[in-house]
Amino acid sequence: MKQLIIAIDGPAGAGKSTVAKLTAQKLNYNYIDTGAMYRAVAWRALDEKAELSDQAIAALARDLDLQLDYINGTTKVTVAGQDITEAIRTPEVSRLVPKVAQVGEIRKIMLELQRNMAKSGGVVMDGRDIGTHVLPDADIKIFLTASIAERAKRRWLELTEKGYTINLAELETEIAARDKEDSERELAPLIAAPDAVNIDTTQLSIDEAVTKILALARRD
């Protein structure tokens, strides 16, 4: 059976990572969390209290000893041997990620890494420009979305379960602003590829979304 390349794009909180992980598990594929790669750069900038200029952040990305290991359904993220899997999910990192993702030099560095990871197939990769820019020749392209209210609620639940005190209304505002930044940025904006299959998860369970993608994979 052909080892497919599956690209899953969509805005923050649409369920991309969860859906992509489960799809990879079901197909026995590798899962590549591109968002974690940008988060790792943002984490390092904050951890080193670096100047947050484009040039300074790009310099950090060039020297980033980053490794992603997908083991038993979990992506372990390490920088220079330090496990930062949980550290990259803080609200502070989340707020910096859009700025990091807009830096052209950083996107070039990540693009090369991502394409190398996917070249042999048997991969599910999620992000915001995978089907349009990173892997334009992917066998299956999915654009996963959900309403802003639903995405904010999911993120709020995730953060409160980890002990953070978050205002839901403020989170909705942040997510709407993130959508605007991602979709209007000049370099590799968040848009659905013309040949992508749109899946709205507002009223879908994770399993239902995964089932739709598996049906497409089995058809190829």
Domains of the chain: 5-214 (3.40.50.300)
What are the start-end ranges of the E strands in 37-167? 66-71, 74-79, 82-83, 123-127, 140-145
For residue 1, what pLDDT is reported?
66
For residue 101, what pLDDT is reported?
87
CB contact at 8 A, 142 and 7: yes
For residue 126, what pLDDT is reported?
92
pTM of the model: 0.80
Q: Which residues of the chain have pLDDT under 70?
A: 1, 220
The pLDDT tens digits for 61-83 are 999 989 888 887 788 999 999 99
Angle between helices 34-47 and 104-118 (to 10 degrees): 140
For residue 184, what pLDDT is reported?
87
Which ranges constitute the DSSP H helices of 53-147? 54-62, 91-101, 104-118
For residue 69, what pLDDT is reported?
84
Angle, vertex CA 186, rays to CA 10 and CA 192, nearest 5: 25
Angle, vertex CA 208, rays to CA 201 and CA 191, nearest 5: 35
